Structures are given as structure tokens and as C-alpha cells.
């Protein structure tokens, strides 16, 4: 069985649950017994300027130990990043200049999680830990839905007219998002010939991304985001063209590095940092207690920063010990997003991407694999060589 879920169908089912006003008493009792709780997500790492806008209209700094619930929004400024951990151990990193809404954070009576994040703008990296096929984890943008199961991926909404989804591990089901259908039951959709056709087109348009694959969802926010059912019915011809799989545009080194260095903590540490944050925000600590609180927070922050540095070092070592299979200069540019030309003192030269510097040895990834070059033998390094030549 494929390791993914169809989120387009899952989102349409939400409308069915929400709109079923005439349920039988037994069904009502069953619904009540399975009433969902709202677990919190916890910030486990934060650098730069960012803030949480809570659903109750209060705001706070997005610092270590701050909690988020359904309806909250997190906003990051330039050069900021925030790591957030969920109740099931899944974690995300919100990149700089991003806005992410926590549309749903729920846990039902059977212990299944339902996490739905709305990326308004910017970029989010995710490492999803799904213990059950009934767990739900999805990231939506104004025009796209990415539903996952046990995977590492990213969603990029840095451009207002498109969404890009890339997969590092596992599978992601990607489909266009038509907001008007999300509040309707299958019966309501099927009763309208135009909407039924759009629903069928959405199901056909869904594509599944596997490891190292990516897709582009390009659609008009005005069209796909409308609640006007007449306009939605006219989308049928546009939906098949909205999602395309991208060739040669898999995840880059910098993106993979972000995913690999996402911080997670054990439950004890999560509880500790939440308590420290709540005590600090209470305003009830005396000067001595506040100093102790701050010292504890700083200690945890330093430990997590150290872990990130260790993960970064491990990632760089893997790039050298088990290099990617990059056969052409274009492959190198796609992954490293750069090329260098290293001109040697004897007149020879190499073209590749400098991966690391170990003492006086330069580690370069070329079309022939990893090369170690003594810096003393180098006459010149031409940076951003991909912009100076035709590949």
C-alpha cells in the first residue's frame, strides 16, 4: 500500500461532517463520545524576530516554550526561523518572512491527530511522524493542498501566484485547493452538476510526489479562492492545468539542511520549557525567581543550539562521505544552487560546488564525484560560475 493519503478527499469530507445537521440520536452520542480535544504545539527553537497572534487577539513573542492552538497565527520577520513540535512528535520549521496559521490542532478519543496548517506566505519545512494511517497532517496554501504520511517535505509560498511542494522522504499527495467546496457535503456537491464536475476534476488532478520529486501549483487566488459557486463551476477547464510535476527541480542542499536541522525534544523537556514560559509571562516572579527562570531558559536554548550545530556537522559529513549522484553541471546547480570554477597553479581547472573546507583542504563536488584539493595549489576560485557560462 502506498505511503500517502488523499487530502483532497479528506478536505471534502470535512464539509460533510460539518454540514450534517440532521443526525440521529445514536450518531450524536457517537460524535460526543469522540469529541476532539485541542492539543498544543510548542516552540522548541527560535531565532530572530517573530510573534504569535493568538485566536483571542492577544499577542506574544514566539520564544522558547510558547504554545500554539487552533486558530493561532505565527509571523516571522527577515532572518528569523522558528521550530515547532506537535503532540505526536512531528515538527516544522517556519522560515523567514512567513505567515502560518494553525487551522486545526486536534486529537480525537481514539488518539488520532488532525493537524492542518495554512501557509499564507513564506516557506515551511516539515518532518512528519505519523503513527497511524488515520492520523492527518496537511499544509494548505490559498491554491494548493499537500497531504502527507510519515515524510519530510517543504511547501514554498514565497511567490504569490504559485505554490511549490518538494519531497525529501516519503510521499505527498498534492491537489489544487478550491475553497468553496470545503464547506459542502458530497450530497450538496453532487446535487450541482457544475460543482460535481469540479470535484471529479480535482480528484483526477491530484498527483503523488515521491522522494526527490517536486510540483508546482499555479492557480489564481481570485478564481480558486472564491466562494461563488457559479464561478467555481467554471473552474473545470483550469483545474487539470493547475498542478504540474517539475523535472530536475528536486530539493536543494540548503532546503535539505533546513529539514535535517529541525529541533525536537522529549516530552519532559517540552513540559519544562512550557512551564518556564508560562511562569515568565505570569508577571508573578520576584527578581530572584525571574533570574533563575531566565538562566534555565538560556541553558535549554544553548543545549538545543548545540544539537543543531551537531546535526549540521553530521549533514555536511554525509555530503562528503555519501555524496549525491549528480552527473551533470546542471544537477550540481539544482542541488547546490551554485558552481565554482577552481583554477589550479599548474593551469588545470575543476568545475563543481565547494561543499566544505577542512583545514587547508577544499572539498569540491564535481561531475566525477568528490575531489579534495589542497588550497596551496589553487591559483583562483571563480564563484557563481553558473552565471558566467552556458551549462
Angle between helices 267-282 and 287-321 (to 10 degrees): 140
CATH 2.60.120.1440 domain span(s) along the chain? 41-261
Distance between CA atoms of residues 248 and 214, nearest Å: 9
Please count the other Cβ atoms lying within 10 Å of the Cβ belonging to residue 222: 9
CA distance readout (Å), 378 to 276, 291, 363 = 52, 52, 13
Distance between CA atoms of residues 156 and 162, nearest Å: 9
For residue 386, give every residue at least 6 positions away whose Cβ sits within 8 Å of its Cβ, in sequence order, or none: 329, 333, 338, 339
- For 266, counting Cβ atoms within 10 Å of its Cβ (0-12 exposed, 13-18 middle, 19+ buried), the class is exposed
Question: pLDDT digit of tens for each residue in the chain (391 aa)?
Answer: 344 333 333 332 222 222 333 333 444 444 444 445 677 899 999 999 999 999 999 999 999 999 999 999 999 999 999 999 998 889 999 999 999 999 999 888 788 888 999 999 999 999 998 767 788 899 999 889 898 867 899 999 999 888 999 999 999 999 998 888 887 889 999 998 888 998 999 999 999 999 999 999 987 766 777 777 778 878 878 888 899 999 877 899 999 999 999 989 999 999 999 999 999 999 899 999 999 999 999 999 999 999 999 999 999 999 999 999 999 999 999 999 999 999 999 999 999 999 999 999 999 999 999 999 999 999 999 999 999 888 7
CATH fold of 329-387 reads: SH3 type barrels. (2.30.30)
CB 144 within 8 A of CB 175: yes
Whole-number pLDDT of residue 40: 84
Whole-number pLDDT of residue 88: 86
Domain 41-261 has CATH 2.60.120.1440: yes
CATH 2.30.30.100 domain span(s) along the chain? 329-387
CB 344 within 8 A of CB 381: no
Amino acid at each position: 500500500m502506498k505511503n500517502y493519503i488523499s487530502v483532497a478527499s479528506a478536505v471534502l469530507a470535512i464539509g460533510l461532517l460539518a454540514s450534517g445537521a440532521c443526525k440521529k440520536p445514536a450518531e450524536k452520542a457517537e460524535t460526543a463520545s469522540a469529541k476532539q480535544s485541542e492539543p498544543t504545539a510548542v516552540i522548541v527553537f527560535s531565532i530572530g524576530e517573530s510573534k504569535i497572534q493568538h485566536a483571542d487577539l492577544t499577542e506574544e513573542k514566539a520564544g522558547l516554550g510558547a504554545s500554539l492552538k487552533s486558530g493561532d497565527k505565527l509571523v516571522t520577520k527577515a532572518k528569523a526561523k522558528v521550530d515547532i513540535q506537535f503532540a505526536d512528535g512531528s515538527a516544522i520549521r517556519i522560515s523567514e518572512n512567513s505567515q502560518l496559521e494553525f487551522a486545526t490542532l486536534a486529537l480525537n478519543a481514539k488518539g488520532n491527530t488532525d493537524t492542518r496548517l495554512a501557509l499564507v506566505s513564506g516557506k515551511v519545512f516539515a518532518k512528519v511522524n505519523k503513527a497511524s494511517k488515520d492520523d492527518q497532517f496537511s499544509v494548505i496554501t490559498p491554491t494548493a493542498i499537500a497531504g502527507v504520511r510519515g515524510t519530510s517535505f517543504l511547501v514554498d509560498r514565497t511567490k504569490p501566484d504559485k505554490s511549490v511542494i518538494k519531497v525529501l522522504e516519503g510521499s505527498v499527495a498534492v491537489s489544487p485547493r478550491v475553497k468553496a467546496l470545503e464547506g459542502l457535503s458530497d450530497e450538496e456537491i453532487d446535487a450541482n452538476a457544475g460543482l460535481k464536475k469540479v470535484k471529479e476534476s480535482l480528484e483526477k488532478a491530484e498527483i503523488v510526489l515521491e522522494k526527490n520529486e517536486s510540483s508546482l501549483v499555479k492557480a489564481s487566488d481570485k478564481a480558486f479562492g472564491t466562494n461563488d459557486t457559479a464561478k467555481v463551476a467554471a473552474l473545470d477547464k483550469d483545474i487539470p492545468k493547475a498542478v504540474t510535476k517539475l523535472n530536475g527541480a528536486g530539493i536543494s542542499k540548503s532546503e535539505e539542511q533546513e529539514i535535517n536541522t529541525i529541533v525536537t525534544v522529549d516530552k519532559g523537556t517540552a513540559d519544562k520549557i512550557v512551564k518556564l514560559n508560562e511562569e515568565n509571562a505570569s508577571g508573578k516572579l520576584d527578581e530572584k525567581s525571574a533570574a533563575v527562570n531566565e538562566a534555565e531558559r538560556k541553558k535549554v536554548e544553548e543545549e538545543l543550539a548545540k544539537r543543531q550545530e551537531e546535526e549540521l556537522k553530521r549533514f555536511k559529513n554525509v555530503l562528503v562521505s555519501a555524496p549525491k549522484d549528480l552527473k551533470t553541471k546542471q544537477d550540481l546547480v539544482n542541488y547546490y544552487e551554485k558552481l565554482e570554477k577552481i583554477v589550479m597553479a599548474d593551469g588545470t581547472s575543476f568545475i563543481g560546488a565547494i561543499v566544505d573546507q577542512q583545514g587547508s583542504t577544499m572539498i569540491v563536488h564535481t561531475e566525477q564525484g568528490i575531489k579534495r584539493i589542497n588550497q596551496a595549489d589553487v591559483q583562483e576560485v571563480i564563484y557563481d560560475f553558473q552565471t558566467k557560462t552556458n551549462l
